[in-house]
């Protein structure tokens, strides 16, 4: 009778399992490396895109007429939505805050509280998020459709710089118009707050505005305006980048518009967080 050696059957199984485990680990490592490589590639593309915009912004052949047209498009098309949002924002904030202030006998502080809240934080952030959905998606879809239909390639063939004509004008228009829309929303928010205060009270418009701006200082406007400029630049850059670098298929237009809204909204929150920290350090 031959001697039975269990290693004859056990060792091949061990070698097979070890090989399969090693292959799985290698696939995971390759996937992680690929994800990191894709992230770094996208990051470098963004920086190159920003450098191209910065170079073409200070070019002698700046498209001033297209810039004015984009300013009109952004401001005119966003005005109704911003008007409704700003008014409701002040109205809701007043209705929600008034009962608490009445309980503490501080109803006269309501106009100042609403004005400071709108000017410092709520007005810029909420208006910028609305603009990210309205303006950012519009830029992404418009440039994405131009990319799909090869209009951008046709501009390059006809010696027209698409970065200067399409991207720079839109980014600068968003950078200029969004802070103005935010100030407009703040004014309508205070007006809506006055309407909310008169639901259960009786205060004149002049008295309400005087009480509101008696608590607002010039230092409250500076951080809000500065971060509003950054909000506009971020929304314009993200919308143009996603649309300009869209794929060739028709699905890429929707993907570009959707990703522009998501990324722009996220970056608005991130910029606001950084701005709040810097403002707190400077004031304190």
List pLDDT tens digits, range 53-110. Answer: 888 888 788 888 999 999 999 988 889 999 999 999 999 999 988 888 888 777 788 8
Say if residue 1's pLDDT is above 70: no
Helix (H, G, I), strand (E, B) or coil at 25: helix
pLDDT, tens only, 198-247: 887 788 888 888 888 888 888 888 889 999 999 999 999 999 999 888 87
d(CA 59, CA 133): 30
* Closest to 63 (Cα-Cα) out of 174, 170, 143: 170
Could you identify the residue written with the tokens 């190159």? 48
Q: Give the tokens for residue 130.
A: 């609305």
Q: Which of 107-116, 172-181, 245-254, 269-278 has the lowest mean pLDDT?
A: 245-254
d(CA 154, CA 78): 30
pTM of the predicted protein model: 0.83
* Closest to 119 (Cα-Cα) out of 216, 264, 35: 216
pLDDT at position 19 is: 59
Say if residue 161's pLDDT is above 90: no
d(CA 78, CA 84): 10
pLDDT at position 7 is: 47
d(CA 33, CA 80): 47
pLDDT at position 21 is: 53
pLDDT at position 31 is: 55
């Amino acid at each position: 009778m031959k001697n039975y050696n269990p290693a004859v059957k056990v060792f091949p199984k061990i070698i097979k399992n070890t090989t399969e485990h090693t292959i799985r680990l290698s696939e995971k490592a390759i996937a992680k490396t690929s994800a990191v490589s894709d992230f770094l590639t996208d990051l470098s593309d963004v920086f190159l895109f920003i450098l191209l915009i910065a170079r073409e912004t200070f070019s002698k052949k700046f498209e001033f007429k297209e810039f004015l047209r984009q300013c009109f498009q952004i401001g005119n098309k966003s005005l109704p939505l911003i008007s409704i949002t700003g008014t409701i924002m002040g109205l809701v904030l007043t209705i929600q805050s008034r009962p608490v202030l009445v309980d503490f006998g501080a109803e006269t502080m309501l106009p100042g509280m609403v004005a400071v809240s709108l000017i410092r934080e709520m007005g810029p952030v909420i208006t910028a998020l609305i603009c990210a959905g309205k303006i950012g998606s519009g830029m992404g879809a418009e440039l994405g459709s131009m990319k799909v239909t090869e209009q951008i390639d046709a501009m390059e063939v006809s010696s027209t710089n698409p970065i200067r004509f399409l991207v720079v004008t839109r980014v600068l228009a968003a950078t200029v118009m969004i802070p103005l829309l935010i100030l407009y929303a703040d004014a309508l928010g205070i007006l809506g707050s006055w309407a909310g205060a008169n639901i259960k009270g009786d205060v004149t418009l002049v008295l309400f505005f005087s009480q509101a701006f008696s608590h607002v200082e010039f230092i409250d406007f500076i951080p809000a305006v500065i971060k509003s400029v950054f909000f506009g630049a971020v929304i314009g850059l993200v919308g143009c980048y996603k649309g300009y670098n869209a794929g060739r298929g028709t699905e890429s237009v929707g993907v570009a518009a959707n990703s522009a809204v998501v990324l722009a909204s996220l970056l608005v929150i991130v910029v606001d967080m950084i701005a709040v920290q810097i403002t707190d350090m400077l004031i304190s």
